[in-house]
């Protein structure tokens, strides 16, 4: 091995990445597009511009979701609910519930049944109502297992979304 070959420093390898448009390898780190995608070597967007565009897109998407969600749930509820009858069965309570939709859109509602008078941390069971048309009420029977098998006073709450 010659003295000259041992003393020369190796040429640095320039970091590269794929073209952001076509994916071709070998684009210098300070450029975003390859020579084929940017033949006139026009100025390319900076990283800040690219991240800004992505951030604006995310914010715009969240706004669109919020508006769509609001449009979907508008007119639902409020709901009025009451426990009509409680009948003990062998292993639960058969509870007849009446739910009234006072809104302008049909919906089914998630209701929460608790003991009356309620205790903090006392038993609570979730019940799903059938579809209730606007201005109408529906009566249905649910089997509740959280309150034992003896008839007891129950309260129901059907909060609006």
Q: Are residues 35 and 67 in the same domain?
A: yes
* Number of domain units in the chain: 2
Ranges of residues in the chain with a pLDDT under 50 are none
pLDDT at position 8? 55
Q: Output b/e per residue, 18-40; b: 16+ Cβ within 10 A.
A: ebeeeeeeebeeebbbbeebbee
Residues 160, 76 contacting (CB under 8 angstroms): yes
Sign, CA dihedral 124-130-131-134, equals negative
Q: Are residues 69 and 93 in the same domain?
A: no
- Inside any domain, residue 138: yes
pLDDT at position 63? 97
pLDDT at position 55? 92
Q: Are residues 86 and 55 in the same domain?
A: no
pLDDT at position 45? 67
Q: Which domain holds residue 44?
A: 13-73
Q: Which one of 22, 42, 73 terminates a domain?
A: 73
Residues 36, 22 contacting (CB under 8 angstroms): yes
Q: What is the CATH number of the domain that holds 126?
A: 2.60.40.1620
Q: Are residues 124 and 148 in the same domain?
A: yes
- Inside any domain, residue 131: yes
Angle at 48 between CA 44 and CA 50, to 5 degrees: 60
Q: Which one of 29, 58, 73 terminates a domain?
A: 73
Q: Are residues 57 and 88 in the same domain?
A: no
DSSP states of 45-66:
--HHHHHHHHHHHHHHHHHHHH
């Amino acid at each position: 091995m010659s003295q000259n070959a041992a003393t020369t420093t190796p040429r640095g390898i320039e970091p590269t990445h794929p073209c952001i448009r076509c994916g071709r390898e070998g684009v210098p780190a300070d450029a975003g597009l390859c020579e084929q995608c940017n033949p006139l070597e026009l100025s390319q967007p900076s990283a800040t511009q690219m991240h800004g565009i992505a951030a604006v897109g995310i914010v715009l998407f969240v706004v669109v979701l919020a508006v769509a969600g609001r449009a979907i749930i508008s007119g639902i509820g409020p709901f009025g609910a009451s426990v009509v009858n409680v009948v003990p069965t062998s292993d639960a309570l058969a509870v007849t519930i009446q739910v009234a939709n006072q809104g302008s859109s049909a919906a089914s509602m998630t209701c929460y049944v608790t003991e009356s008078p309620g205790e903090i941390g006392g038993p609570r069971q979730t019940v799903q109502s059938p579809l209730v048309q606007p201005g109408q009420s529906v009566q249905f029977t649910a089997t509740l297992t959280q309150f034992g098998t003896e008839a007891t006073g129950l309260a129901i709450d059907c909060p609006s979304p």
